Amino acid sequence: MNLLMEIQYSSSIDEVCKYLDTSISGLSEKEVKRRLLKNGPNSLKISEISPFLILFRQINNPIIYVLIFAAIISLFLGNTKDFIVILVVILANTLIGFVQEYKAETTTQVLTRLTESKTTVRRGGIELSIPSSMLVEGDIVILREGDIIGADMRLINSANLRVNEATITGESIPVSKNHQVNISDEAEIFDWENMVISSTIVVKGWAEAVVIKTGERVYLAKISAKITEKSPPSPITDALTRFSNKYLIVSVFWILLIGLVMYFESHTVSEILFALLAILVSAVPEGLPIALTMALAVGSLRLSKNHVLTRNLSAVETLGSTTLIASDKTGTITQGKLKVESFFAPDIDNLHRCASWALDWQEGKSSDPLDRAVGEWLGEKLLHFRQNGKVTKFHHFDTTLKYEAATVKNGGEVITYVKGAAETLISQASNPSSEVAKFQNIHDDMAQKGMRVIMLGETKSVGENIKEWRIDIIGCVGFIDPPKSDVLAAVHSTQKAGIRLLMITGDNPLTAKAIATQVGIYHQGQRILIGSEIDKLTDAQLAKALKNTSVIARVTPDHKYRVVKILQKRDV
């Protein structure tokens, strides 16, 4: 087996660099050109549809074929008026459909080209900024806050790195990355702590990484390949095909019957042929194609006013035939941003003070979604507390200890304010055991409601060994990615129309259940499936399980694809 296919997360840094024949100083320009020539640019193939194919789609319809046949017969019979009318109908139908689909296609292509990002690489020991499409396997990339990751990479060095992987996993909270972590071959993408994946975004920290996959070999390409698969025929396309076939059979039957009657009534062959052709032309529903196309075009225009692009007109009607909607959570049902939902502290004022100083807050802002949420929650209190004192040292987020801290000097007093994972603060707590137990119970209660929970505390310890600090826990703060304001009404309208809703997300089951319950998708007694369970089920078993499932959590894009395919094939 090709080592490069297994190199992602279970191989050591030395193994990766050795196989890719690269080093920390990067590749030479000569080597980059050779690899670029061999593997091609680092970009996904854009399936550009030619204007001729779009044009052909407009006439690739049984009814249009009948109209064309009828037009030819009309011309043959000398009925120029009918020929012109049918021809105008065909041209109008083709033109309306072509213009609408071509416009959507060109807009999609332009949007795709606008998304290319810049990447900082080290080549021959020199740092350069290049388009991400010019990356090659073996390139050494420097990742900084705000960078869009342009390829699949193995971390070789990192500091406080946190990455937003919502595009891949669906998790709204940035995940911590660590180049020193060893991961087993069986790990899911959620656990690839020493990897960064194409299309994700650096939220915080810094890293050096080696590119291990580019172009059509990246993880995202697997998703892209599935998206470009041929879709099943839309309900209207299927209905039109069945109608056309039945219509043709019935028409031919009656025309032959009429011809038989005329023959036994001693009409000449030329008279019979002329009459049958005239009947065939008159039986053609020439108004049907243009009426359908106009209705779909109007629907497409209405969707475009709501910022929805329709690449294929028949897709418009599909919305009207929908029986089930499988929806993502992050950014679709939810806002895609964190908000403080709940908090607890014996002394709320002290909690506000601790939260104000424990933020990684610079020049009135933060790149961390969690810190931004705390800042919005504190409001004017943030400035009030930060006016008195000065941060003398900031301990950035430690991916091992899972907390960060700010040492603040206020007059003659020096206090370090800490925020982080409950297990870390509790393990170093100086509070009485009864207080610690109470904080633990409140933390667990918030977590059971689907919140992301942090603990805050303070210490006067000044030693360099953070593990030896004794921390006085002050309180807990719980966060959620709240639903959009109009989602509850949309869910209600959808369910009232008889359409079933299914939430599919990469987020954890508790969070998914909480949000789904809040917006009315999940109801007591319904099932919540997770990705690891789906792996153990056959298609038949999964189809059965989906009948009473409203939430699917902790899934990869492959899981989502399998679920949707089963939903399309079976009456679930």
DSSP secondary structure, 54-71, as one string: HHHHHH-SHHHHHHHHHH
CA distances from 89 to 49, 93, 244, 284, 504 (A): 25, 6, 17, 12, 44
Here the tokens at position 374 are 């705390």
Which of 14, 191, 328, 398 does the annotation list as catalytic?
328
> CB–CB of 210/17 below 8 Å?
yes
User: What is the spatial order of strands in the sheet that 527-530 belongs to?
Assistant: 324-327, 500-504, 549-553, 527-530
> CB–CB of 554/532 below 8 Å?
yes
What is the C-alpha to C-alpha distance for residues 340 and 345, in angstroms, rounded to an integer?
A: 14
Length of the chain equals 572
Tokens 């059971």, located at residue: 448
Sign for the pseudo-dihedral over CA of 155, 159, 164, 165: positive
Helices (H), 449-553: 487-496, 509-519, 531-535, 539-546
- 507 among known catalytic residues: no
> CB–CB of 553/534 below 8 Å?
no
> CB–CB of 540/565 below 8 Å?
no
> CB–CB of 192/149 below 8 Å?
no
Four-CA torsion 342, 347, 351, 357, nearest 10 degrees: 170
φ/ψ of 293, rounded to 5, equals -60, -40
- Return the active site residues: 328
